[in-house]
Amino acid sequence: MKPEILVLGTLWTPETRAQLCELFDCHFLAQLQEGERADLLASAGPRIRGVLTTGVIGIDGTTLVALPALEIVAVHGVGVDAVPRELVAARGVRVTNTPDVLTEDVADLAVGLLLACVRRLPMLDRYVRSGQWEARVPLAHARSLRGKVAGIVGFGRIGQAVAQRLTPFGLEIRYFQRSEGPEPQRRSSSLLALARESDMLIVCTPGGAATQRLIDAEVLDTLGPEGTLVNIARGSVVDEAALVAALASGRLGAAALDVFENEPQVPQALFEHDNVVLTPHVGSNTVESRRAMAGLAVANLVAHFRGEPLPTPVVF
């Protein structure tokens, strides 16, 4: 008999759905109506042994309670901040994620956002399309990257991949995280020190309680009116209200954001600024990364049910 699993979210390709249905007895929760979901959890919940979910959806406490036989939660994504770690640990439920396979694409997006923001590409595109160029509307100079300092908050897989990409642009790299990272990059003594020493901050930490609103008003003010903030980590890492206020008052120079506090809600105030670039949480949204992530998430489920070592377990 195939193990019964619950699949959360809507981002599964036909290819992945077919593979899942071949390997497991699947319940795709998102394709049910609200009322039907509760019925499914009540009837099939006690038999469900695995959950496949996304990094953003994770799993909530109510769903966990409805799955008393749950053995594994496979997260399609590297961030596991939407999985309540105390609850799964208390139940002995294993958790897996999909690190590495998305690192390069997420780092590419971070660099793309930085360039788009510093060189104001979305604004320039609007300038051309709206006829302002033809009308000779004056255009201010942008700032050069060369010779500036890029501060990376969270110097893990993605942070280091961002650093590798930025060095050839003539940027000096510094970083801050709790532990010492690899040489030769310089770790700043604190997050505030990094903000003080940097022209731009690129946020690459995990989400969750330990990084909640790490980038607060003080950090933004320290980065200052010439500074640029790029966030590809999680919306929760930046105090969004403080960010909106800092941009509105000119205390922060510019921001490029792929992630937000209450996705898909984005503060309307951010739409008003030409110095803000917004993308809809698409760091890993390439055919290649998404295929590799799905493959790895499924491989973790398969390994678990075969009693083999998990390819990428999460150690909380």
Catalytic residues, by residue number, are 234, 263, 281
Identity of the amino acid at 110: A
278 burial type by CB count under 10 A (0-12 exposed, 13-18 middle, 19+ buried): middle
No. of helices (H) and no. of strands (E), the chain: 11, 12
- Least Å from the CB of residue 95 to ligand NAP: 13
In this structure, are residues 123 and 113 in contact, taking their beta carbons and an 8 Å threshold?
no
> 143: which 2 tokens?
């700032």
- Least Å from the CB of residue 275 to ligand NAP: 20
Omega before 264 within 30 of 0, i.e. cis: yes
- Least Å from the CB of residue 282 to ligand NAP: 6
By CB under 6 A, name the binding residues for ligand NAP: 78-79, 99, 102-103, 106, 153-159, 176-179, 204-207, 210-211, 214, 232-234, 258-259, 281, 283-284
In this structure, are residues 216 and 236 in contact, taking their beta carbons and an 8 Å threshold?
no
Report residue 237: phi and psi, to 5°: -75, -20
- Least Å from the CB of residue 233 to ligand NAP: 5
For ligand NAP, the closer CB: 37 or 213:
213
End-to-end CA distance of the chain: 31
Please give the Cα distance from 262 to 289 (Å, whole number). 24
Residue number with the shortest CB distance to ligand NAP?
156
For ligand NAP, the closer CB: 190 or 249:
190
